[in-house]
Chain A
Amino acid sequence: MNTVLSAQDISRALSRIAHEICEGNNGAKSITLLGIPTRGAHLAFRLAALIESIEGSAVQVGTLDTTLFRDDLRLKAPRALMPTRIPSLGIEGRNVVLVDDVLFSGRTIRAALDALGDIGRPSRVQLATLVDRGHRELPIRADFVGKNIPTSLSQNVKVNLVEIDGIDEVTIAEKVSA
Chain B
Amino acid sequence: MTQVSENILLKSGTLADGSVKDVLIADGVIHSVGDSLNPGDARIVSAEGHIVLSGLVDLHTHVREPGREDSETVLSGSQAGVKGGYVALSAMANTSPVADTAGVVEQVYRLGKEAGLLDVFPIGAVTQGIEGKVLAEIGAMADSLARVRVFSDDGNCVSDPLVMRRALEYVKKFNGVIAQHAQEPALTVGSQMNEGIVSATLGLKGWPAVAEEAIIARDVLLAEHVGARLHICHLTTAGGVEIIRWAKARGISVTAEVTPHHLLLTDELARSYDPIFKVNPPLRTERDVMALRQGLADGTIDIVATDHAPHPGESKECEWQEAAFGMLGLEHALSIVSQTMVETGLLDWAGVQDRMSTAPAKIAGYSEHGRELAVGAPAHLTVINPKAPYRVDRDSLASKSRNTPFHGMEFTAQVVATLFHGRIVFGKDRFL
A and B, direct touch (CB closer than 8 Å): no
Q: Which B residues have a C-beta under 8 Å from some C-beta of A?
A: none
Q: Which A residues have a C-beta under 8 Å from some C-beta of B?
A: none
